[in-house]
Structure 1
Amino acid sequence: MKIIKINKINNCRTFVDFAWPSSLQLFADYNLIYGWNGTGKTTIADILRDIERNKKSFSGNFEITLQNGVGKEVIKSDTLGSANTYLPDGLQIRIFNRTYIEENIFATNNGQINPIFFLGEENVEKQKLVETKTIEHKEAEKNLDALSTEKDAKNNQLEKLRTTGAKAIKDALIISSDNRYKNYNKNTFSDKIGEMVVGGKSTADYTKNDIELTELRQCFDSSPKETLSIPTITLPDLDSLYKSTISYLDKTVITAAIDSLKNNEILSTWVKQGLDIHQHKGYKDCQFCDQPLPEARIESIKGHFNDEYNCMIADITALIEKINNCISELSISFPSKVIICDHLNNSYVTACSDVQAVVETYSIFLSKLRESLQQKNSKPFQSFVFNELVPENGAAKLEEYINILNKHNSDCQKHSTITQEARKTYEESIVAGYLEEYKKFKQQIKDAEASILKTTENIKKLTEEIRKIEKEIKEHHKAAEQINADLLSYLGHEELKFVSKENGYIIHRFEKPTSIKELSEGEKTAIALLYFLKTLEDKSFMSNGIVVIDDPVCSMDDSSLFHAFAYIKEKTKNAKQLFILTHNFTFFRLVRRYFKSLERYKSKKISFYQTQCIKSSTRRISKIKKLDKLLEDYESEYHYLFQIICNTAEQEDSGNLADYYYIPNVARRVLESFFAFKNPHCQNLLRDSLTTDKFDLVKQQRILEFLHAHSHEDNIGAPEHDASILSETKEVMIAILDLIKAVDKDHFEGMEQCIKKANQSRS
């Protein structure tokens, strides 16, 4: 049975109308609640104590939710103490707070403290059980040694692999311009191969062949080169030209052909030219023989060279000209491979060769087309056959060539990124060679660790069982004797002792009964805490119960505080669920560190919270919230308070003075902490420190007056106190930050970085 949340708290002291936020994580196995005095911690502890006793002890209403193995149960304050109200079966809860101390230690019957009972007896069967478990214990220890040796061997093999892999990468890439490979070591190798394992890809996904590795090296070893102009090249449509040519070669014209001209190319050409000259100039006499031209002869020649003939000759001539243009446009100039990126050289040379072959093939074919058309042009009355096949389309070869030029330009523009990626790919290819062996070693080590953990837990269990049985067999220690031993360890002397008397204990000082009133506050707290922790071993309280400890270090000095923490840590280690509430930052820090170690090494679920109280115009209001990231991550409360000042200085003024009631106390605490380190010699930290010549004296005086007016609880609400002055809060906080920056710039900038890091972690 566990408590998972406090659903609501209405009108219980400073909790006015609290409801558990949906964004707030539920209570875990181990819970730490931090808050200044007066922020509501005691109310939370008293609510849980009411649940423990099934009795409502103060006004207001609350409701909590419990989680058991099968579901959830809700307990409401209004039903506590009624005849028909029964707490859930299995709910075991113990609360340590001031109420517990008053009711169980210092307000006792006839001056006596209630007893704590422990049972034990000698038994022959238990002795045999001890002997059996002792043999099991020795066998387990022997097995643990063997497992540890096996794990060490696998770790050594893994270490050798890491060293070998790191050297291989360093040898391969140390000559590159990337300095990180000059310091490449086994840790760097481990980070890389671990990243690749998490990526989930196979060895084949990373492995590159020799040619690819050569290209990668050329890429990251080369210097950046200039970009090139991309030529516009269009290959002629051979199919179209071929079809046009075939159509003309097969075509003949119908004319009144003159045989002497039809069969004589030279004569035909000469007569055609002559006819054109005579017609164009309008000659009536033959310009060769100076005789009148017979009209019949002229008509006969015209019939030979009719319009169909002329059109075909014109078309053929135009087609020849088109082919000539195509041949001219096939002239391509290839840039030297020297100006091409080194890693593209091989591909570029191949592409150039392919395009050159396409150009030559195209040119030869076009020349043959042109030659056949010229023959047809000279003998238009004959049909010709063209037996050449159209070459394969070279567009793909040309596109590959253009793509390489484009990639060259792209790589030139992104040279830094390309080279970096090439080095990374090269590195991953080498690491891939160790990937499977690395996975094997890691799995073997993981299996060995699991076996070691299981065996260690078994040894621990056997040890505890043997110790417990031996304790039951050999002797029966009374609770008083055990508490006295704890008191001796805790206080360092035997001045105080618990003495059994009738049905309880009384306290002796120097072997004589003493009045509880004569005890110091520190002694009272120590006795109460040790007594409470001892009750957790009471036969009426199961080890899987819920333990709540509220401010166990009040009135303790630092030495006692550490003792208290050590005892709490030891005595509550078997609790099913633990709540610790405190206002003491030193104690908070110890518990926080302990809880985090439990989460890390024992897989315990932990949660951190804080209580916060602000003032409205009429009353103080408390709430439970997630612990601020600065309090969770840093070893100083100063970080958190500094952030509050920064937030107040940066945020827009809400216009609600209630938002600012607690800010002056925060500011005073920050400045006192700051000047305590800067000016340890000052008797009055604020008065003596706020006279520095590093910052405007008027602003310093304004800060001092503001803090004196608002940072004392008894001033708020006094007749002479003007709450409206709180409207200056934002400006004063800005002035305080400027003051700290002026006095110690390095400190200020360091705090800014811490807060920035915490804010990034929150988002």
Structure 2
Amino acid sequence: MLERISYIRAVGLLHDVNAAKFKLKKANFIYADNGRGKSTLASIFRSYSQSNPALIVNRKTLGSTDEQKVELHFSNGNKTVFDKTAWDSKHTEMLVFDLDFVEQNVYSGGQVTPGQRQNLLNFAIGNSAVTAQSELDTAINYLSISSKKIKALTDKLSGIHSGQTLTSFIKLKKIGNIDEVIKLTNIRITAAEKNLVIQNKLLPQHIELPSLNIDNLFLILNTSLEGIDLKAEERVKQHIAEHGGGSIENWLSQGAAFIKNDNCPYCEQSLDGLTLVTAYRTYFNKGYKDLVKSVSLLTTGIETRLGEHIIEKIKAAHQVAQSVYQSWLEYIAIQETSLDLTKITISLNQLKLLLLSLASNKINNPLDKVGSDKELLQCRALWTDVIDAIIDCNSVISEKNAAINLYKRNLASENLQLLKGDLLTQQMVKKRYEQPALDLITEYSAEKVIEKAATGVKDVKKAALNVIMIVTLNKYESAINNLLVKFGANFTIKEVKFNYLGGGAPRSEYAIEMRGQNISLSGGNPDFRSSLSEGDKRTLAFAFFIAVLQNDDQLSKKIVVVDDPMCSLDLNRKSNTVTILKEICVSCKQLIILAHDVYFIKKLRDEFSGKNPIDTLLLKLQHANGSFSEIDNIDIDVACESKYFKHHRIVNEFIIGNAHNSAEVAKAIRPMLEGYLHSRFPNHIAKDLMFGKIIGAIQSAHAGSPLNYAISLIPELNGINTYVGKFHHDTNPGADAETIVDTELRSFANRAMTLMYKGG
């Protein structure tokens, strides 16, 4: 329990307050006029309750150079000190209802904000959910740590997977030999971009096969003529020359064609045995001539068909094909065409040498058969080797050309945009499976597992807290409405619940119903600002506060501070407020009420000292030197008495011997008698009548008027009025200079008291 507000320095009007002599009790009522530091004292209590130094620091006494300090003494010798910037300890828990509570938890500026609803929920669930809230906060903290790590990793990865979501990036499948795949895709893209050029690009041509008819060649070599005189030509030419040459040879040739049956076509003589005629037959024989001609061409023909130029031609054709293939390598992977040029060269040379040898032999022996079957087979084999080597090469060329044609057909159907998309994917795959992405994703994936687990724990803890909040808020809705009924409010709350809108901490949600209509808490029509009076709004806030206290099973361990529990205009709610505060006082450890309504303080004192009395201390904040404030006792009865009772008390205390200022007593006798007569004859003496006119009204009262009962008092009233009138400015401008004799004053005081007690 708070036992003493020992000392306050440099906090607002509480500049140098020493109140250690006042020991607080179970119930403590502190009165203060407006502007005397009541709210400042409430803020000191709130600063202590929330361990919030700013509430004191921000109320530094204007112009003061003193360091701020507050000393509070609690039970069992415990002391708490605020020194300069902080509280050094905290003992008994304190719950404070003040303007800060209203603005932080309920409303401000005529509206109810999400932040206020969040604060209200935190205040409402209080200790009932301390463990659950703590566990949820811990779970949220773990989740936050994990989420921050994931955010940091995500930021590091963002520059790597740009253009693709992180989830998709992580899920990319690994591609083997990715660099080669990317290279090939780039080639395909380049080709697709050059499709028209590639479609018109030349293909390698087959190597032309060399021509050689070995069988025809051997036909010449194998040709032989019988009965041919090899010296006939020499003999005939000699004969022609002997006859002058010229056209005789032609004549002899034509004539030889007419020789039949060895008889001369000219003279029919037998030609048999004539050597010259036989020579004619050989010389002018067509077969012989043809053979001689063919044989003479053998060497040239062999050189033409099997010379070095043939090898060079084959080699050149192969090189052209290779060159064309080289130009295709940037688009399609094809191997070089192989040609066994060595074998071709050897076979051709061997074949040429063999044939030249046979030709030479034939030339020398034209009428003989030259070239055996074995030699024919050998030549055929050598030629086959040459042809087969070229055919093999051409077959490869055909295969490769087919591959190129397939490539061209496929190229014609390529989708350039899809290819570019494939390239981007492949490039992403490359980044995905190389550093730094590889390590970052490993770390990210591991942290995601941790985050998932932390999310699960948070959800479980959140669900547990939700159950507590649902149960708690259901109780509060009923409790708050019961309080509003007791306070005479013409509105109720409903649908008290909570939500997590905004993604942050939970906040309360409720609706206000007035005359069957829902009141909007923020804007709308009708709205909270204009529909509820200031008294209604403060009543709602106070109902929230009290409902929480009523449902707090730890209230007996807490100090409750209430600063102005109701609006000064809501006098109709005073009685119920007093009753409820007494109930709270019974349940809590200690109650401290601060108010600027002295009559409310008196009503509290009267209620708390009545049935089932509670030990009570009454204090006030009053004016002190330097226009500051100090704490002192207050006589609540004196503070609350009417003018009549005040004047009666002053006169009576003077009579019985209590010290009083004589001038004050002299001035009190006349208004005391005025009050007496007003109360004795209500509605018969006008409220604004002064003492002399009241006496006149009694003197002139008509028959049957109640004032007639006071006619006997007129002489005494006039006598007293003559004396006391000297001390009032309305009858004596020099009233302040009048001399007062205490014995004379006491005599008139007794006469006035006797008149009132005795009546007339």
- Calculate the TM-score normalised by the size of structure 1: 0.38
- Calculate the TM-score normalised by the size of structure 2: 0.38
